[in-house]
Amino acid sequence: MLTWIKWLVLGAVVLVLVSVGAIYATLFMSLPTLDGNDVSQYIDAPSSLERDELGHAIVTTQSKFDAAFVLGFAHAQDRYFQMDLQRRTAAGELAQWVGEPALALDKRHRFHQFSQRAKKVFENLPVEQQEMLVRYAHGVNTALSENSVPPFEYIAAGVTLKPWRPTDSILVAYSMYLDLQGTQIELDLARTALKDNFGEQVYRFITQPSNYQAALDGSEIPLSDADIPTYPHEATIKNTGTNEASSNNISSNNASAGETARNYNAVPPADIGSNNYAVTGELTPTGSGLLANDMHLGLRVPIIWYRTQLNYLDKGENIQVTGVSLPGLPGVIVGTNNHIAWGFTNANLDNVDWIALKDDVVTTQIESTITVGEEAVTYSFEHSDYGPVTTLGEQRYALNWVAHHPFAVNLSVIDLASARTIDDAIRSARRIAMPVQNLVIVDKEGSAAWTPAGAVMARNKATETAITQTALPLQKSRKTSNLPVVKNPDSKRIWTANARVITASDMPRLGDGGYALGARARQIRDRLFEKDTFTEEDFYAIQLDNHAQFLIPWHHLLSGLLTAHDVEFKVDLAYLGQWQECACEDSVGYTLVKHFRRHVIQKLFGRLLHSLDEKGVNSRTLLRGIEPATWELIHTQPNDWLPPNTETFDELLVDAYREAKHELLNRYSPQEADMATLRWGEVNKLTITHPFAAQIPGVGHLLNMDTVEGFGDTFMPSVQAPNFGASQRFFVSPGHLDRAILTLPGGQSGHPLSPFYAKGFNDYASHGATPLLPGQSVHKRQWYKQEE
């Protein structure tokens, strides 16, 4: 009997080892070939792809068309899964991979018909840019043709790998529109529902201007001096929702309304965008301008950006541009050519109109088939001459979004590689078509400038809520070229951080597409005025600034409240006294203050915002700017804004803290209720994961980056959430690239057996400085033109 058990166990072990060995062998066979010589009919002259120890792709060719081919080859070798994921996201084809959980997302994205629009965009591109995309696609498909075994993600998902088409690159650009402006679509609809349901006064109160304004010219939108509106009661609510039973109980003073307030747990959307700041040469020891850029995006494995250096000839001039490219697109997106350097943050200019359609407007029904695993699901929606249509209650709204127009996408961002001066770069910026960004540029002569770059609809007046058909006559939209420029300001400093950068006088025309509150931008501005000379290391320190300036008033409020209950909250007060005024790893006090604020906002506005969610809009988009209204209520304390069964604001605030503390302990220390476990480093730990890690039992966690204690938060320059934050840290002074820094939150390759899979992550986790320039080449592929 024992012998039989022994052989059974041994057989099981052997089976496991064989299985692991087979998996490893399959993975090993799918590794790309990094060295060798080849011929290709898709290049015009000898070309090469080298990689250093980080996997930094160094492309050397005789033309930008050949450079597009080689970069496409490199992207496909290292990141094809990422590229495919982004094109599928924009096209609404994720459910084929993920199944039912992705169906709702696919439907939302099919609403925009990006697959069809990509073809029209390609047809409207200049011939030169069409050729760039064709060459890039040839490079991608050449790399795919070398695969004896497909990337492991395709094996795991059971999905067939499909070739890359030139229009797929345009879908990648559309995926960035969804990332960078998708919230703007939801925000305008939420503003409309807020105004229609609760009236002008409540709308103006909740969306009032921020007191954290830091525009480049110092202009301010006047703060509200209106009285706090009466909390909207049933009789004042216009019911346009589809759920009549739920839409009329928003302020009824009963237990169910109180439960609604407690259950409302939405948080503001992440501030997709970035920090971007610069100084002129008068404030640097070298006399050249100095630039910092950290673009805030979702963090995952593989990372979004790809280390790239392109060397090629263009119109007789040698071009060398170093920075980051986006797999799926040719060219460097953010970088330097040693004459200029540039970076981006999301500009948040208004680029959305929802048009309230008249009853007699005729629409057509659009149908498409979504593959969910092996099944087919039909998705249909209405379409009008004004755009695709959604319905809230009985009102139909058509969407006019800049991304829906043929001028929304082109490849002109790659022309920045040829610019030699600030003025050259500004001229190039006027041709760029992509989600509009704050472009900050410096040059080696010491100049610095800011301008919006990207597709902006030409309009006389931007709007924050839905408009009537008569306000938007049915006509062909066009891209504006009338965008502001700030060059070499008297302050010698430039900063952008997703809040309003434009002057107040430009607001009526360019609008508010969901600006960040402004606390982060103000803190960066203030740091820039603390010194008169800056180096790359000084700029890095600003990017890592996790001082909790924004939460100091909330800390004072909470400390004062708990002092009145010092017996119950003696331990809590001790942690608050040691909070260090920063989002630091060992600060329990920071965690308490952060979550106290969230629960106060949810208790004050939960009933009202929950009712908007029931009408089919996303109320959390309104939370990004709700700080001024929150403090006005705390200071004024109108009784009619108190939740049901709450008698005073002190009671509301203390209850909010108790709920926040209970929620935290229930999650992080359910047995011991030990407050020491609420260290911010643990609560906000950086967790960068692979999308497939959770689906692979036993070993899936090996695909993830190491977990790192949290450092930073929202409303401060050092932005970090568990899977969101700086997608790159870039510091550069043209003419002095030996000191330039580019630190990324992961490695070049998406292949788990590649030596480049996690290379560079340790620098990111430890706030190290990875050099921008590539090191010595360790791998080289070369191509020669195939003879006819």
Q: Which residues are catalytic?
A: 274
Q: Which of 553-557, 566-570, 615-619 has the highest mean pLDDT?
A: 553-557
pLDDT value of residue 9: 52
Categorize the per-residue pLDDT at 129 as very low, low, confident or very high, splitting at 50, 70 and 90: very high
Question: In the Cβ-directed half-sphere of 388, how many Cα atoms lie within 13 Å?
Answer: 21
Residues 133 and 679: their CA atoms lie apart, in Å, by 49
pLDDT 10s digits, 620-676: 999 999 999 999 999 999 999 999 999 999 999 999 999 999 999 999 999 999 999
More confident residue, 473 or 594: 594
Residues 341 and 509: their CA atoms lie apart, in Å, by 29
What's the whole-number mean pLDDT along residues 72-87?
96
Tally Cβ neighbours within 10 Å of residue 568. Answer: 12
Cis peptide before 452 (omega within 30 of 0): no
Residues 480 and 405: their CA atoms lie apart, in Å, by 13
Least confident of 82-86, 469-473, 556-560: 469-473
pLDDT value of residue 565: 84
Question: In the Cβ-directed half-sphere of 14, how many Cα atoms lie within 13 Å?
Answer: 6
Q: Per-residue pLDDT for 239 more than 50? A: no
**Which has the closest alpha carbon to 155: 293, 25, 33?**
25
Residue 353 known to bind ligand: yes
How far CA 239 is from CA of 188, 235, 245, 246, 735, in Å, comes to 19, 10, 10, 10, 62
State residue 681 phi and psi, 5-degree precision.
-60, -30
124 sits in which H/E element: helix 114-124
Tell me which residue has tokens 């007191």.
Answer: 211
What's the whole-number mean pLDDT along residues 671-694?
94
Q: List the helix and strand counts (H, then E) for the chain.
A: 21, 25
Tell me which residue has tokens 């929304």.
Answer: 408
Least confident of 55-69, 240-254, 319-333, 560-574: 240-254
pLDDT value of residue 250: 38
Residue 359 known to bind ligand: no
Tally Cβ neighbours within 10 Å of residue 234. Answer: 12
What's the whole-number mean pLDDT along residues 114-140?
97
What's the whole-number mean pLDDT along residues 148-167?
87
Whether 727 and 295 have beta carbons less than 8 Å apart is answered as yes
Please report the sign of the dihedral spanned by the C-alpha atoms of residue 513, residue 514, residue 519, residue 524. negative
352-356 and 467-468 beta bridge pairing = parallel
354 sits in which H/E element: strand 352-356
What's the whole-number mean pLDDT along residues 84-97?
94
Q: Per-residue pLDDT for 261 more than 70? A: no
What's the whole-number mean pLDDT along residues 26-53?
92
Whether 605 and 621 have beta carbons less than 8 Å apart is answered as no
Whether 493 and 208 have beta carbons less than 8 Å apart is answered as no
Residue 352 known to bind ligand: yes
How far CA 156 is from CA of 18, 98, 164, in Å, comes to 18, 11, 20
